[in-house]
Structure 1
Amino acid sequence: MKNLRITLKIASSLDGRIALSDGTSQWITSSDSRARGHRMRAENDAIMVGVGTVLADDPLLTARTVPLPARQPVRIVADSQGRMPLSSRLVQSADLGRVVAVTSREGSDTLAGAGVDVWRCGNGVRMDIREFVRRAEAEGLRTLLIEGGSTLAASFIRAGLVDEIAWFRAPILIGGEGLPALGALGLSDLKSATRWRPVATERIGDDVLDTYVRSEQ
């Protein structure tokens, strides 16, 4: 039985796009929504993104609330092939709080030497998500906030491991050329689609935050 509660946070346009076709995403949602996102970070034990997000946006992933939290969440990167640059803000800020790279192969000595914890969870090709969850639980983590990107989000949805979705929507339309919030789920029919039950809707300025939990049916 899984003890790690996983929340998927998505910030998108009305039509479910998280960036323009060239990857531009700053800023789709408002500053108030981003502040709410920082509070969500502070409320979770760990934050996770894929290495593609690190390469595209170079995020810091700290919880920048007022006041700052007593302890920063663990910052985790799904990085199967060890591509996270040593020059990234995550690696350079390892002294601000724990940074973890989840790889699927041996190596990543350079990341370890830079102060990054390296967890090997996989068969050398891609990260084994269930093995990662077991490792996170063994490390004492109880709540995880996944922030992107679309491939990582889809992989956790496909594995049936997401407990809650927090979806921020901004009142803009980007169109079909924009990058989707979710990658491929591999559905062959609608009966295979996971169902979600809406539990809260909140206006944040002009944005809307919808919260869903996995339906039992």
Structure 2
Amino acid sequence: MPRPQITLKLATSLDGKIALANGQSEWITGEASRAQGRKLRARHDGIAVGANTAVLDNPQLTTRIAGEPDPQRIIFDSRLRLPVESNLVKTAAQIPTLILYDGTMNVEGYSLANTDVTLLPIKKDARGLDVVDAMAVLHGRGIKRLLVEGGGTLAASFIAAGFIDVIEWFRAPIILGGDGRNGIGPLRLETLDLARRYDRVELRELGDDIYERYQRLDGSSA
């Protein structure tokens, strides 16, 4: 099945957390890591986040780099929870914004249907929106390189499907503890041989943070 080449970007604490239990996440990593993350956005056709990230963080998902294009913004929002006053909706006329939702829903009457976002119906599976169907839809719309930025549930769905070709991991020297929000959600593995494995191909310091780049063991890359 044709699909985009997919990169997972993680910005976490040492123990793999992306936020406190109350959702606070600004800022776990330092400015050097955030600048590198914005450069990553510029190298991709699309950037994807889950509904929780879109609603709680109210991000813009832009490069904020002069002369660099902004990727299309993709929100996995099965129940169309994104508020019309969010940054993503308010700027959808300037930057294409795609909302993937549960294809069994009737969108008539939803406020998002009367905005500049593009609503795309997607099949569902046991984890939520079917990432196989979603990737086929996005590939058909010209998205060949996709950056997945969060949150943990969405990351787990892509990993479980075997769709993560590259991991770009920015790790800050702090520990948030077991009640923090995980960068990667449950994978429901029963044996270690089912775990996805990656080669680390780069390791360096970015300010106080550590940056690591991993590729799939089969050699594919985004």
TM-score normalized by structure 1? 0.94
Contact kept? 1:167, 1:209, Cα under 8 Å: yes
User: 1:96 is paired with a residue of what secondary structure?
Assistant: coil
Which residue does the alignment assign to 1:60?
60
Q: 2 CA distance for matches of 1:155 and 1:16?
A: 17
Shift of 1:95: 2.3
Which residue does the alignment assign to 1:25?
25
Deviations, residues 179-210 of structure 1 (Å, cap 9, x unaligned): 11110001001111111110111211111110
The answer to whether residue 86 in structure 2 is matched with residue 88 in structure 1 is: yes
Distance change (3 Å), C-alpha of 1:18 and 1:200: same
Shift of 1:123: 4.2
Q: CA RMSD of the aligned region, Å?
A: 1.6
Unpaired runs of 5+ residues, structure 1, are none
Q: 1 CA distance for matches of 2:218 and 2:142?
A: 27
Contact kept? 1:106, 1:120, Cα under 8 Å: no
The answer to whether residue 198 in structure 2 is matched with residue 196 in structure 1 is: yes
Q: 1 CA distance for matches of 2:124 and 2:111?
A: 20
Which residue does the alignment assign to 2:115?
114
Deviations, residues 132-188 of structure 1 (Å, cap 9, x unaligned): 101111101110000000000000000111111101001111111211111000100
The count of residues paired between Structure 1 and Structure 2 equals 215
Shift of 1:3: 4.0
Q: 1 CA distance for matches of 2:87 and 2:14?
A: 30
Q: 2 CA distance for matches of 1:68 and 1:33?
A: 20
Which residue does the alignment assign to 1:152?
154
Shift of 1:107: 0.9
- The percent of aligned pairs where both chains have the same amino acid is 40
- The structure 1 segments of at least 4 consecutive aligned residues displaced by more than 4 Å after TM superposition are none
Shift of 1:111: 1.7
Contact kept? 2:107, 2:113, Cα under 8 Å: no
Q: 2 CA distance for matches of 1:106 and 1:162?
A: 31
Shift of 1:216: 2.7
Q: 1 CA distance for matches of 2:86 and 2:192?
A: 41
Which residue does the alignment assign to 1:5?
5
What letter corresponds to residue 113 of structure 1 in structure 2? N
TM-score normalized by structure 2? 0.92
User: 1:100 is paired with a residue of what secondary structure?
Assistant: strand
Which residue does the alignment assign to 2:185?
183
